[in-house]
Structure 1
Amino acid sequence: MNSRERVAAAMRHEIPDRVPLMCQLALGHYFLNTPLRPHEIWFTSEGFAEALVMLQQRYRFDGILVNVPGRDPNWRADVAEITSDDDGEWVRWKSGDVTLLPWDDNAQHRPAHPETARPTFETFDPDRDFDRLDDWVMYTWGVYHTPVLRGKAPGLLLEPPDYFFRTLDLVREKAGPDVSLHGEVFSPFTHLMELFTYEDALMSLATDPEKAEAILDRLTEASIAWAVAQARHGVDAVLLSSAYAGGGFISPRMYRRFVLPYERRVTEAVHAQVPGVPIYTHTCGHIGDRLELMMETGTDGVDTLDPPPIGDTELADAKARIGGRMFIKGNMNSVALLQMPDVASVLDHARERLRDGMPGGGYILSTACSVSPKVEPEKLEALYGLVESEGRY
């Protein structure tokens, strides 16, 4: 089997030749472990695609997740200057906004007018204000990781511009046809959190749940549009990123009301419009009390499964509860990798995941969340040898 076939078999609950290996890397990990400049990786399709493929080949991962849309090739027309210092690279925009790209971490955007960078839930009008979404730079930044989106109609992004697909095309070209290629879309609930401040969005669920539902209803259109567009463009799977739907943010009751129905619409749209392309869900933290609720969204798989103490999900328990219906990717402790003193400790940790995850198929070995920027590359390089020697069926 090649890598693409191997991942596809695992996602279909078939038995591949061995357990697939596919970790998501933090952007800071690319900054530290490739020769590209941070702004080249963050703001250009060519730079990000090169970084993605470079480390996929180094770590011999079976798949690549493209978790940032392709970039506007004319993005520098909006830039006044790019400088650097000990803190990182500074992109100063003609609008007055500033983006700091630390040498080892995600970019941080600082709007010139933070008081108007987001709407408030109280003043937002669902019947009128969706046409003004582009006025709120932190929504655009939070969902698409850039302060400016050229080439789109005002309001919700329902027809992605052509350049959104550029990174996907470049990765397929550079990595070749035998590597599994995954796209990513944010869930409607993540859109809600990024439209307002996190505190404002969460409070809205209690203060005016009907209005929150009306807003979620419209935001779901944008999630569907980008998910279906990537599926139609030829990705092998779509990751639905729902980072804020775990137990640290909302209860199972709130999950059922404010997350489940809207994510179900996204999964149903992908299944109906592009049959055969799996869609799976990424939710961080404590999700042990909502695994069955996640299954009700119709998702094909679950990503992350943070183990204790950062989460509460043991892989063997999850496998028994949902393994017959959803494939599982993850459960290696992303934070603990930083603390493990040597490669042998990492292999012991991964070996436990193989023991609990691989029986019967439907498992992809991965860190629960993104690999932290400063995890030593040799810890990841060793995982390929482990799945080759001990992950075979």
Structure 2
Amino acid sequence: MKKIQCIAVMLVLLFCGAAFAETIQVSSASLRQKPGSFYPVVATLTKGDEVAVMKSQGMWRQVKTRDGLVGWVSEHALKEQGSTIDYGMMAVDTSGRRMATVMVTAAVKGFFENRVRTGDLNQALFEAPFVRYVTPYGYEAFKRETFSGRRSHGHFIGQTGVTPKGPFLLSEQMVATSAYITGRLTTPGLVSNKTMVSYVNNVAQLIVESSEFYDFPISVHVVETNAIFANATPMGVIIISRGMLKTIRSENELACLLAHELSHVTLHHGATETEVRKSKIRAEEAFGEMDDEMGKDEVEQELDDLAMDMYEHAIRGRKEVYEMEADARGILYAKRAGYDPSGMASLLLRLKKQQEAIAWDEEPSHWLPKSMGRRINALPKKAPSGSYATFTERYSRRVN
């Protein structure tokens, strides 16, 4: 009898060991209610946590933790190498941290096109820059409509491959930068049309799911201003103006623009510029501590603006390269989402025409007609075959 009991105990131990054989391989992974980056987070798992894989759905795994929690993680979280995102720094509360304006702008001006000159911050979005606009029911309905009567999403993904640049790691500076840029660019306020905002975010979610970072959380704020701009922050927040949406003519143009902005993130442009400016960031953090003691006056604000302008001119060469890289990667994402990638060229041509009368010293380089022309010439000339869509009428109905 005792022998049978021993064997039973050993079998239980072996079973338990096998059940919890998988471990989380990234520093921070979100355990979600259902498979999708837009579903609520049940808990945050850390590297080394053991889980039991219960079932699979696409690139998501339903797991059970040793504490008995059940939820879904992306397969990225269980891989030692590959296209992973370190979400750890996303959870850092940046709202209580003093951030020197010069330091933050010096770190981000390398590829964030700040064309809205405001001295204030949208405090609410600075403290909580990520807002969940996508709902599971709404997104599922949008996706059904998008692929109704045509090839499936999986078909388009299979037609175009993407080679990951490598794991994407978020630093504290990049998270702080994201919060600052979000707060600054949304100062004019957000549009009140919830239907339009939901639509724009659903398009963005489809682009994210079509990228190698399909588990990346996304949030698109639409700013109530006629200025024309679109910006991406490293933590998955995109800011787009009402003026830009008025310039866009079809959903595939919107998709290509959002794919371009997401590409800045997945191609590590923010991380690259942060590394380039690391010594500058450290120095300016010291100045930030002085700001706490001395206060911020009008003279310092003028120095901030001067620093932004000087840095903008200093990185013009790298910036155009970033834009061309983001154009090329964005086209891949748009195609994998089933959109006609010609929307990238048609939008750039329209923006180029609008910018031709603006003086060189007044705009970032990639907005200039010559730079836009070089970007357009670098785009693929051959249109893809197959049922790639433009959704011109749907865009007009949802946005205008």
Q: Please tell me the TM-score bracket, short chain as reference.
A: under 0.3
TM-score between the two structures when normalised by the length of structure 1? 0.26
Q: Which has the larger radius of gyration?
A: 2
Question: Which structure: greater helix fraction?
Answer: 2
Q: Which has the higher contact order (CA 8 A, sep 6+)?
A: 1
